[in-house]
Amino acid sequence: MMSVLYSSFLYVISRKMDLNKVMLIGRATNNLQVKSIESSGTPVANFTVATNRKFKNRDGNLLEDAEYHRCVAYGKWAEVLWKYLTKWKRVYIEWRLRTRKRQDSEWNERFSTEVIVDNFIFLDTKWQVWEDAWFAWDIDHPIPDDEEVPF
């Protein structure tokens, strides 16, 4: 992974290009919302990824801070993410930032920045996914007492 990143970096420097690349490792904070672009029918997934950092303040106390990143995926990636990425699952995401400008109802300019997703890796292991599914099933289907079992 690092060699690919390093070679990409060298390519950008040698071509005197600008670089707009984002790499995030975090957790999905909600289940994805998928809509379609009316003109083309292309699926679009909108979701938020939370990242955290730990740091010490001036008094030496360990603090934790969270940052929330709006993410957008298009086409096939939107469908795959919608199918497999659920709330609290860890994911690695990369591509670029996009900032959009709009006017609110009072004609003030508002800006929003989002990560356009082009590459991702699910980071939770199959065991963790299975364990979460079992836990959810167990809550909905409690194990009966011995007295309730008919045999």
Q: What is the pLDDT of residues 81-94, one digit of tens each?
A: 999 898 989 999 99
Residue matched to tokens 């990369």:
94
CATH 3.90.700.10 fits 19-143, yes or no: no
Query: CB neighbours of 87 closer than 8 A, spacing ≥ 6?
Result: 28, 29, 30, 31
- Please give the average per-residue pLDDT across 102-106, as a whole number: 89
Per-residue pLDDT at 45: 93
State the DSSP code for 115.
E
Q: What is the pLDDT of residues 126-146, one digit of tens each?
A: 655 555 555 544 444 444 444
Q: Provide the 3-class DSSP secondary structure of residue 120.
A: strand
Instruction: Phi first, then psi: give them for residue 149, nearest 5 degrees.
Output: -75, 130
Task: Tell me the pairing of strands 43-56 and 62-74.
Answer: antiparallel
Average pLDDT, the chain: 81
Q: Provide the 3-class DSSP secondary structure of residue 1.
A: coil
- C-alpha R_g of the chain: 21
Would the pTM count as exceeding 0.75? no
Per-residue pLDDT at 129: 54
Per-residue pLDDT at 137: 47
Nearest to 48 by CA among 83, 80, 81: 81
For the chain, what are the domain ranges?
Answer: 19-143
Poorest-confidence range of 3-7, 46-50, 105-109? 3-7
Q: Are 53 and 75 in contact (CB under 8 A)?
A: no
Q: Provide the 3-class DSSP secondary structure of residue 133.
A: helix
Helices (H), 40-115: 75-84
Query: CB neighbours of 60 closer than 8 A, spacing ≥ 6?
Result: none
